[in-house]
Structure 1
Amino acid sequence: MSQQLQIILPLILMEFVLKIIALVDLAKRDKRGVKGEKKFVWVIVILLFSTIGPVLYLVAGKKDFIQEEDN
C-alpha cells in the first residue's frame, strides 16, 4: 500500500497545482480575455475534467490579444 501511495500522491499533487494555476489565471482575466467569454463554463471544465480540463483551458481557452496604444 505504501508503494502505491508513493506513486499516486505526486500525481494528485500535480493535478491540484495544475487546477490552481488554471483557476488563478482565469480569475485574473476579464471576460474578453477568455474564449467564449463565459468564465463560469471554464471553471466547470477545469474542475470537472481531471487533468484535461486545466490543460485545455491553458492551451485553448485564453485569448491573447494586443491592446492598441493611444497616440
Structure 2
Amino acid sequence: MIAPVLIIQLILLIVAIVDLVKVKETNGPKWLWALIILLVSIFGPILYFIFGRRQS
C-alpha cells in the first residue's frame, strides 16, 4: 500500500530535479529550490512545479 506512494514520490523528485537542472531561470535561487525538492517529501516537487518555474 505504501509502495505506490513511494514510487510516485521518487518519480516526482527525479522529474523536478532534472527540470531544475535544465531550466535557465527560476523564481528564486536554484539551490533553494533543490533543497525544497529534496527535503520537503512529496510536496517539494509539487511546490517547485507550481511556484518555482518561471513562466515565459
TM-score (norm 2): 0.94
SS at 2:9 equivalent = helix
> Deviations for 1:14-35, whole angstroms, at most 9, x for unmatched residues?
10000001001100011xx200
Taking every aligned residue pair, what percent have the same amino acid on both sides?
38
Among 27, 35, 50, the alignment partner of 1:35 is 27
Which structure 1 residue ranges, 5 or more long, are not aligned?
A: 1-6, 66-71
In structure 2, distance between residues paired with 1:11 and 1:64: 29
Relative contact order, higher structure (CA 8 A, sep 6+): 2
Q: Deviating runs (4+, > 3 A) in structure 1?
A: none
Larger of the two Rg values belongs to structure: 1
